[in-house]
Chain A
Amino acid sequence: MPREINSITESTSKYLDSVFERIKNGEKGDLMFDIDGVLTEISLETAANPKTLNAWAGEHKEDIIKFKNRIDALKKTGDFKVSICTGRGWDYTSKIVDVLFTKEGLDYAIIEGGAMVASPRENNEWNLRPAKNIDQGSLKNLEKYKPTIIKHVRENMGGLSNQNR
């Protein structure tokens, strides 16, 4: 039976109960959000969609307040963590964090398609580190050849967005 969103059908209830049963048995729920096309309109602040995040936020003030309230209410239960999982870099993701989350609303962010992880430190600062599974040799080669690759993408692959993604 399809899980209809506006009513809790019997099957929806069953599956939610199985998720919550795990949570009540000591696991936490981890609400994990992609950014583009999920939390916001797709591809903001890129060549594909030059609209700024601030302009989008201005159009969605009420939705953003509702989102913050819902996240904070779930976090208050103590049973849920909240995270972001995106292909974007930290420059853009940090702006999303400022616009969409209250101070303690976000537990961590997986950024750059899984290459990096951002976790909060004290004083509103964030710690950035490579994911543990990243191949260090591959990472070093990517750093070494980054200018060559960016030049190639610009000249031979139709350009690059204003984020060096």
Chain B
Amino acid sequence: MKTLGEENPQDKDVIEKISKNITHTPKTVEIMPSGIDKLLTLNEMIGKNMPIYFGDANTDLSAMKNKKEIKANVAPLNAENPVKDYVKGDKESSGFFGLLPSQNDIKGVNEAIDLIYAHYKRVERFPEGIKK
């Protein structure tokens, strides 16, 4: 297999630099400009707000480890083990909040939002009757 630079000798340096930004898993291929990371853009967008991040994959870990003093994260049951381990957190650490729902993807998300809503509104559970 030829490398990208070998196939295009006239632009070898630039192309080899770009090829370092190609990552792949058994299921996906991602090509990024250098320096791009969810965390950098997340920090740009959240400003002073307090993120509660819902993620499942190793690629979410940088965003979960954001700049805020309190790390608030949720990982559904189907999340990759390193993510669940991170969300479980250091039991002795202050400023760390994590939830591990008992169900997969959207069902787990709904489960977590139920808890967040109920605690925020000081009610026992989410009132299903609410419609917009």
Contacts and interface: CB of A to CB of B under 8 A. Distances in A.
A74 B117 contact: yes
Nearest to B60: A34
B35 A135 contact: yes
Interface residues of B, number: 84
A127 interface: no
* Chain A binding surface SS class: mixed
Interface residues on A, range: 35 or more
A27 B51 CA distance: 10
Given A16-B119, A114-B38, A70 B27 contact: no
A85 B7 contact: no
Interface string A61-101: 00110111111111001010101010100000000000000
Interface of A: 1-3, 5-6, 8, 12-13, 15-20, 22-23, 26-34, 36-43, 46, 48-49, 60, 63-64, 66-74, 77, 79, 81, 83, 85, 87, 102, 108, 110, 112-115, 117, 131-135, 138-139, 141-142, 145, 148-149, 152-153, 156-158, 160-161, 165
Interface of B: 1-2, 4, 7-8, 11, 14-15, 17-19, 21-22, 24, 26-42, 44-46, 48-57, 59-60, 63, 70, 72, 76, 78-79, 88, 91, 95-102, 105-107, 109-121, 126-128, 130-132
